[in-house]
Structure 1
């Protein structure tokens, strides 16, 4: 095309081709193929002291059965109306009160549960229940029946809150979402609690076991075991200048991720830790388990404490700093980016 044509001629041309549902690539090429990631997501922090009153109020306004899942979604401020914490991830805080049951269903979306507050509720996945304790990481694999309830523990019941992490935006992008409700409120329990952990969680596998799915056969990863490993590695001096002591959860049968779309991590920051700057294309959601500190994300400082949550968007430089011993859980879309060979990360010196 003649580049000397008047702007008005080009505008008329654009309007004509728009009628054929076409647009000129050259007007948007730099946006479609940017020099570096420049997505709309922004860093954000949700303080536990701010969100807890609204979580409690939600428990008075609607039952778990009515809501199906009583969740307050953590929505990125730059993505209003999309129920997304990043462009590929969903996060929310779910409440279940004593005596309640969140009815059984299944869906294509993979889900994680990270227990934030309270103890004694349970999740049932494909015939096995696991009791939820603070710091536990629990998975609900794609298309598995699952329900939640709160029977209490040792004769005591209390409200329980956990972080839900799902790949809802990814599944929505592919237009591949399906959901099915059960005719029963709760699924029938067919295996004793702890059966999956006993079979697959001790560096042993049943002799005839053959993985039929990329998803982990373990669906509950107890916090006490994870915390012990973090402490041991710290004592052994295995501290990274960027991440402290950071471990990834794995599928014990394959060494891969627990779920094919969601990566999960736990890290320990010793008191006084001041991390070097880091950035990665897999934006991540963090849940603070223990301790206080500060996350500096894209030049913004966020003071965090126990049960707070924050999001680090894709390719935003951030550093982590601990006032006292801190433990952070996080999840991201790293398995998908790795599979597509598009993951990029940088450890910076300053």
Structure 2
């Protein structure tokens, strides 16, 4: 159990895709309140109350403002109402809910900037729905970077890390087609990603000398150019620059030998060159416990490492383990 520190602001939760399992994850988090610090949600109170009835979960939904969160948390799930409401229609995503999704994330970031919250835990979103509503960002991570710049007035370089007690991985390129990875990958991008990861492992995770294992892009890390030149010409020079900065980084390594139990004991985070090279092993090893952490932001943001699960929405069968792990990690990192 984590201590409920009365001197620290609470944690803000976002709604996520209203037709997915996000609303019930918020309710399940409230039902498991002993596992986390005080928190509140930016959501539609009527939606959450309806979802609680639908799945038979006895969690009082208490509408409040930010100042009343602590008092409301003692009695149920505190909810700060959004200007954009959305009906409870699990499994039926609609662009009509996009405004609420975006507002929830924006208001959580603003609350942290204003000192009304100390971290953000985001429920899963459905990017396709947001795209159809005019959303301009590739994903959650990039949108959070823009909010960091907007509210904190400082350049943000968001980096996705999937963290668990078993393994931590970072994709250098994220939400782009696989065919675009070789042309997107640059020495500067690998280097900047490594700097951010090393910095936040020190500053937020308390690791004095982070160890970074860096995967190659190609099979066998390119075989010195025989299987592709990117590892020799891009990845290796970036690692050399990280070493000059005093960072314990090495590679490029064949990705197929980086994730067995013995190999994982040698590093604190694995830098991978594309999305699935990082997330496939992380989800295979720690699907229910893995947490998505956005590094390089002026605030703490965590999220469960799974999607909206429309097939489970409204059934009460969603597994809240990753969401609860996200709450615990947000509490830890924001102390």
Q: Shorter-chain-normalised TM-score: which range?
A: under 0.3
Indicate the structure (1 or 2) with the bigger Cα radius of gyration.
Answer: 1
- Greater percentage in strand: 1
TM-score, length-scaled by structure 1 = 0.25
Larger RCO (CA under 8 A, 6+ residues apart): 2
TM-score, length-scaled by structure 2 = 0.25
